[in-house]
Amino acid sequence: MGYILYSLTFSSLILATVLYLTRSRWNHLVPIPEYIYTRLPSSFTNDIESGFTSTDFDLSTNVAAGDSRAGLDQQAKREVQRIMKSRRVGFDEARRMYTETRFAKNNIGPDGLPRDPKFVSFS
């Protein structure tokens, strides 16, 4: 009986070690429950602390100006954070991907122009 328990413990330890060492290959496939994302911060100060800022998207001016709004959109923050975790990209790249996805859903090209064939532009 002790031999079986020892073998099972040793096998579990080996499996846990292999999973830990290869976590970068399979970790993005693990579904993360939605309730974890509902605890995202709801002010610009908390958004900065959570990493939702960069040199191109600076929120410190909002904090310095005493902006009383609730911070960034919760749904957008969830989606940007999901992109950052699953594709292992930074905030700016995840925000670009999120914006392009939103544009595509609304029939807008990546350059910001509508894809509507009836669209007329005077420039």
pLDDT in tens, 75-118: 888 888 888 888 888 888 988 899 889 888 888 887 777 888 78
pLDDT score recorded for residue 12: 96
Alpha helices in 1-123 (DSSP H): 2-21, 23-26, 34-37, 44-49, 60-64, 74-87, 91-105
- Beta strands (DSSP E) in the chain are none
pLDDT score recorded for residue 71: 66
On whether the pTM is more than 0.75, the answer is no
Q: Is residue 61 very low, low, confident or very high in pLDDT (cuts 50, 70, 90)?
A: confident
Which residue type does 104 have? A
d(CA 109, CA 29): 29
Contact yes or no for 31/72 (Cβ under 8 A): no
